[in-house]
Chain A
Amino acid sequence: MKVSKESQQFLDNLRIYLLSSGKNEQEINEIVEELEDHLYEAERNGKDVEDIIGQSPKEYMNQVADEMPLDLKGVLKYIPIILIGAFSFILIDDAIRGTMEYSLLELIGYPFIFFINLFIMFRIAFRYLAISSLSETKQWLLLSLVGMVPTSLFIVIYYVDRSFQTPSIEFGNVGVTVAVAFAIATLIGITLWSKSWVTIIIPILLFLPRIFINMTSIEDNTKLIVSGILPLVLVGTYLFIVSKRQQHS
């Protein structure tokens, strides 16, 4: 079954629109397949995509999205994964900087924030949202508030840690190796799970240049500037290429 290029583009856009609106993936597949079937039949009878959805694809996508419930479980499951990903990222970053020293407060505080966050999400937010009939805007508002909790706790720990000295632990060579191996394995795991290369490619683009620059013998100031700018340029270029490629397909 093959639909025209215009129809395929509409179907792709619809899928992206519904996914980014936090709808259930299974339900998205169903409606997209159903519309694909309809467009195929319609095109065989000499109609085109505009006859089916009207002049405004955006308006039509909205109508479809309005009838599909927000998939809370689907949205929330990304939060712990983003957090674990961020931890791995920070760990590798610290290892490259060569300062894998953590205060007691950080060692206890960060995992603590992580579990508080899980608890708030699943026990409070998810349960409350599931039984309440809030509008979609209010649901998103609540989810953003929930998302702000760990961020603010991170900031609190950061400042408290600077004001009060707590005993600190420094990772030795073995410790650093184990931690980095663990972090890399996590990022690879997320890549396999999400079927997207972003969690591998972005760390490579960010970290590899710095490692190579540190190995060269250029002046320290230049090193600092180059290793600050180069990763950003590389990541920017990568994102640009990805978005270009998406527009083409």
Chain B
Amino acid sequence: MSENSTSSQVAEVAIIGAGPSGLAAATRLAKAGLKPVVFDLNAAPGGQVYRQVESPQADLRVTGIDYRLGQRVVEAFRRARVDYRPDSRVWWVQRVDAGFELGVLHEGRSAVWRARRLILCHGAMERPFPFPGWQLPGVMTAGAAQVLLKQGGLLPEDAPILVGSGPLIYLLGWQYLQAGRPPTCILDLTPRHQWRLPLRQPVKAWHARGYLFKGLKMMLALKRAGVAIERDIDALEAIGDKVLEQIRYRQRGHWKQRPASLLLSHVGVVPETHLTRSLGLTHRWHAEQQSFLPVRDDTLSADENLWVVGDGAAIGGAVNAMREGTLSALEVIASHHGLTKEERHERDGLRRERARDLCARQLLDAMFLPPLNIDAMPEETIICRCEALTRGDLDQAISDGAEGPNQLKAFTRCGMGPCQGRQCSVNATLLLSRRLAQTPDQIGQWQIRPPVQTITLGELATPGVVENRET
């Protein structure tokens, strides 16, 4: 994988991702006189949460007031002295001595970069939520619906049905309501007792009050507008021949059916761990967030000269991601030329704010624990979408002797399609965990090798332009 190092471009600090954490890290580093290079998969800065914030396609009345914060963050980033590289896929990263080598694909060409320090700000993805029929056209995620709204002011032609658990379901419902296209109903899969947790954990509820009030406000607005909110649902199916036509769900023991053209699902977000796993970092199962997280120390470092921050490390939301981005920049500054007294103050203040916010996060994690476990799904439920493998196919391989994720992959091709296992990896581990009565940590996840982003053979064969950018 290693290229001739004379053809590589060099940066003191490289940042992967231009969402809230990457923007904050880059802006803070630039303020200290360190000019970082920022690689981002997207064409414009802002990440998923502040997508299209520089030329908004929907009114703030629809997208919500939090979007405005993103405008300020992106403006500061644009003013900062940063080598910003949009439309750039980092398709491999490896450690070289005390630093890193990165393969970066831009406009069909692959270039090699060397960086002494690396901050990973690659963000989260929506938790894959398999149920029978989720592969049908007409089933999309709530996050996808938000992308369409932000990127192009796109609204569903016909009123959709929203299903799942967590704040984004109500945010999207509220945004659609503001835009004059409320959903027909919301199927809230959060078990009733979890809604009562704030009463039992008043300290955490106090720290989370901002989030809780915002959620309540949106829920009330939806109810007032006549949007039905259905609860106590423990099974769900999407039905249709070539596209979604109906949904079925079991509510308090009774199956109900509704016509549906568009079903938008969401059960929370999880860190995207392909990059951190390909670097061989240790990941541990986090029971509250029900996901694998890269292990970091108190300075948010996961290894020498390597920091992992924002929702790509652990879910904490956009504001926390910005805080962590700034904190990682301060750690880089500290390791580069030391911190001034003011900078130490800044760091300590951010650490305190982060601790308070993470206290609130524990309550949100507990309230919105992902519903409908994978092993309880009917056997025809597709787990690996790319290879069209069902829960039954995977269970067959497990009973045939697949004892771990790598074996399951070899037996079935699970995780070997174009998405490279992003949609099925955790669910495969969870299924193995239940069937073999071992913890997710004992089961682990299959190995990730480069390329960590899809790349064509043509792109692989096209040598990158050598720009001499020694800084």
User: Do A and B assemble together?
Assistant: no
Q: Which A residues contact B (CB, under 8 angstroms)?
A: none
List B residues at the A interface (Cβ < 8 Å): none
